[in-house]
Each structure stands twice: as structure tokens, then as C-alpha cells.
């Protein structure tokens, strides 16, 4: 009985949650099977970051990825979907505290851009990742959501995902 | 179908024909608010504001939710449905992303273990 309970976590997929925590905030959480040190490394080394940030199911190609991970350092990611024009996402890191905390700005959205804070909390060899996107106003977050849902179609189309990615990075 | 659309339009126009109610919508576009806050802001009695919010709610322009003793008003409900769907898509994107991250972390863990073994020799 005990052995069975103990073996369960390895077979069960970790759950990802998302919620609009306040008028200006979106929060995503997920536990990753690995120490915070390694999760932080995968998040801050470009050659590792490139391997996971753009899941294949998105249908996007990452054309370039420049990351200067230190306080004040800039980043710039350029994506392409099919024959569409490339999209650039950029900003700068404002806090880099290995292995527990990372904060960056999202400047492609201009004044309405969000600030992303990621915290890594290690518990028994696993890491709880909490990602918060703080928008400057309720209106800015409403607009980000509206731009991704105006088509009214609930299908997970590429266009919608593209817009989604746009709000993320 | 056509009739219900007409009925809804009528309700919307009726709701929007009042300056206070238009003001309430504008205010809720900026930030969610309780009936008490709205009453204060528009210098009105609680009963008066309840009536206005009721008309906006009937027209589907506003939704209210009672938590404890406070009734919070926000724009909705159409927007709310959209928002729920969007947040679910947002979750799925992150879920896919974290699944990939987990694979990278797994590789790094294995590599580290391999190095440890080598170090011991």
C-alpha cells in the first residue's frame, strides 16, 4: 500500500494551474521534478531555454534568442509562424537571484506591457514554479485578454496562440 | 432567434439610455467595484444604485457576485466567458511549455549524475 502511494508521483504528470489573481495579475504555477538550481539554469542559459520555451505544438519557429541574464541586461526573442512576418519580444531583466527569483519586463507592448516575476521554491528535490504577470492597469490586462479572444472561436487556433505568446514574452 | 436578439438590443439600449448607468459601465471598465462604492461615487442611495445595477445586469452588460456581505460588480457576462476560455488557453500553453522544461531538467539531472560517477573514479 505504502509502496504504491510512493510510486504514484513518478507516473502522474504535474499539474499546471492558471488564474487571474487580481484585476492586474495573472498567475501560473507548476511543480517541476528537479532542484531549483537546475530549473533556474534551464531558464537562464539560452541554449537550454531555447529547447523548451517554444513547444512544438505552438507551430512557431524561434529565429533568434539573445539573453543577457543579469540585472539591467536585455533579452530579445524573434519568432516566426509559417509565412507570417517575424514577431519580436523584448525587454530587460530587473532582478536575477539564483536560484530563487527572476524578474523581467515585457517592453514590446509599450506602456501596457507587463512585468513577469518567476519564483523557484525547492521542496524535497522538486521545485514549485510560480509565474506572475503584473500589468500596469486592469485595462491593460483586459486588453491583452480581449486581443486573444475577439474571434469568439474556442478552438485552439494558431492565431490565438500567437496572440497568447505575444502577451507572454 | 431574431426576436431574442431584438429583445436583448432593447434591453441594452434601455440600459444605456441613462447617464448614470453609462457612467457605471465606464467605471467598471476601469476597475471592479461593490454596489456601495458605486453608490458613493455617483452620490446616490444604495437602493438607487441597486436598481441601476439590476437593469445593467438584466441587459447582460454587468455581472454581480456576492462574497460575504459585499456584492461586487464587473463587466460581463460575455467578457467573463471569453476570459475563462483565454485563461484556459494560457494555462495549456504553459502546461506544454513546462512539460518541455521538465524534459530539459531531466536531461541535466542525468548528466549531473553521470559526472558525479566519473568524479568518484
Q: Which of A136, A74, A80 is nearest to A110 (CA)?
A: A136
| Residue whose grid cell is 485563461 | B87
- The more confidently predicted of residues B119 and B68 is B68
- The model's pLDDT over A103-137, given as tens digits with 9 standing for 90+, comes to 999 998 788 899 999 999 999 999 999 999 999 99
Task: Say which residues have a Cβ less than 8 Å from residue A79's Cβ, sequence separation at least 6.
Answer: A54, A60, A61, A62, A63, A86, A87, A88, A89, A165
| Run of H or E including A118 | strand A115-123
B32 with A23: Cβ contact below 8 A: yes
- The more confidently predicted of residues B5 and A162 is B5
Q: What is the least distance, in Å, from the CA of A55 to any CA of chain B?
A: 6
User: Which pLDDT belongs to residue A41?
Assistant: 93
Q: What residues of chain A lie within 8 A of the CB of B83, using their CB? A: 20, 145, 149
Q: What is the least distance, in Å, from the CA of B28 to any CA of chain A?
A: 10
Question: ipTM of the predicted structure?
Answer: 0.79
Say if CB A157 and CB B86 are below 8 A apart.
no
Q: Which residues pair with B74 in a beta bridge?
A: B63
Has residue A152 got a pLDDT over 70?
Answer: no
- The model's pLDDT over A62-118, given as tens digits with 9 standing for 90+, comes to 899 999 999 999 999 998 877 777 888 899 999 999 999 999 999 987 888 999 999
B82 with A33: Cβ contact below 8 A: no
- The model's pLDDT over A3-59, given as tens digits with 9 standing for 90+, comes to 444 444 455 788 999 999 998 999 999 999 999 999 999 999 999 999 899 887 777
Task: Say which residues have a Cβ less than 8 Å from residue B3's Cβ, sequence separation at least 6.
Answer: none
Has residue A160 got a pLDDT over 70?
Answer: no
Is A62 an 8 Å CB contact of chain B?
no
User: Which pLDDT belongs to residue A148?
Assistant: 61
Q: What residues of chain B lie within 8 A of the CB of A145, using their CB? A: 82-83, 86-87
User: Which pLDDT belongs to residue B33?
Assistant: 94
- The more confidently predicted of residues B13 and B55 is B55
Say if CB A58 and CB A82 are below 8 A apart.
no
User: Which pLDDT belongs to residue A124?
Assistant: 93
Has residue A149 got a pLDDT over 80?
Answer: no
- The model's pLDDT over B32-59, given as tens digits with 9 standing for 90+, comes to 999 999 999 999 999 999 999 999 888 7
User: Which pLDDT belongs to residue A163?
Assistant: 47
User: Which pLDDT belongs to residue B86?
Assistant: 84
Domains parsed from chain A with CATH numbers: 16-57+95-168 (3.30.530.20)
Q: What residues of chain B lie within 8 A of the CB of A55, using their CB? A: 93, 96-97, 99-100
User: Which pLDDT belongs to residue B22?
Assistant: 85
Task: Say which residues have a Cβ less than 8 Å from residue A149's Cβ, sequence separation at least 6.
Answer: A160, B82, B83, B85, B86
Task: For residue B76, give the C-alpha cell.
Answer: 460581463
Is B110 an 8 Å CB contact of chain A?
no
Has residue B19 got a pLDDT over 90?
Answer: no
- The more confidently predicted of residues A159 and A54 is A54
- The model's pLDDT over B64-117, given as tens digits with 9 standing for 90+, comes to 888 888 899 988 765 656 778 888 888 988 999 999 999 999 999 999 888 877
B94 with A16: Cβ contact below 8 A: yes
Helices (H), chain B: 2-16, 19-30, 35-41, 46-58, 78-120
User: Which pLDDT belongs to residue A1?
Assistant: 43
Q: Which of A63, A103, A68, A105 is nearest to A84 (CA)?
A: A63
Q: What residues of chain A lie within 8 A of the CB of B109, using their CB? A: 34, 38
Amino acid at each position: 500500500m505504502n509502496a504504491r502511494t510512493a510510486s504514484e508521483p513518478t507516473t502522474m504528470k504535474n499539474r499546471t494551474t492558471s488564474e487571474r489573481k487580481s484585476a492586474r495579475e495573472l498567475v501560473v504555477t507548476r511543480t517541476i521534478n528537479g532542484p531549483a538550481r537546475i530549473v533556474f539554469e534551464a531558464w537562464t542559459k539560452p541554449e537550454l531555454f531555447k529547447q523548451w520555451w517554444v513547444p512544438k505544438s505552438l507551430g512557431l519557429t524561434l529565429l533568434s534568442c539573445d539573453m543577457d541574464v543579469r540585472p539591467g541586461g536585455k533579452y530579445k526573442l524573434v519568432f516566426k509562424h509559417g509565412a507570417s512576418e517575424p514577431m519580436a519580444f523584448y525587454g530587460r531583466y530587473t532582478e536575477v537571484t539564483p536560484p530563487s527569483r527572476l524578474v523581467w519586463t515585457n517592453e514590446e507592448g509599450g506602456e501596457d506591457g507587463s512585468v513577469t516575476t518567476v519564483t523557484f521554491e525547492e521542496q524535497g528535490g522538486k521545485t514549485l514554479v510560480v509565474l506572475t504577470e503584473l500589468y500596469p492597469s486592469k485595462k491593460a490586462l483586459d486588453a491583452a485578454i480581449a486581443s486573444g479572444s475577439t474571434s469568439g472561436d474556442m478552438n485552439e487556433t494558431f492565431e490565438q496562440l500567437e496572440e497568447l505568446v505575444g502577451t507572454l514574452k | 432567434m431574431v426576436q431574442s436578439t431584438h429583445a436583448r438590443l432593447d434591453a441594452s439600449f434601455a440600459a444605456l439610455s441613462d447617464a448614470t448607468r453609462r457612467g457605471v459601465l465606464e467605471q467598471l471598465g476601469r476597475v471592479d467595484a461593490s454596489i456601495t462604492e458605486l453608490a458613493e461615487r455617483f452620490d446616490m442611495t444604495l437602493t438607487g444604485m441597486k436598481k441601476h445595477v439590476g437593469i445593467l445586469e438584466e441587459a447582460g452588460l454587468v455581472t454581480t457576485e456576492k462574497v460575504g456581505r459585499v456584492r461586487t460588480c464587473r463587466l460581463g457576462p460575455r467578457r467573463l466567458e471569453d476570459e475563462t476560455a483565454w485563461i484556459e488557453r494560457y494555462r495549456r500553453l504553459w502546461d506544454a511549455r513546462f512539460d518541455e522544461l521538465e524534459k530539459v531538467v531531466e536531461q541535466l539531472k542525468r548528466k549531473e549524475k553521470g559526472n558525479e560517477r566519473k568524479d568518484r573514479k
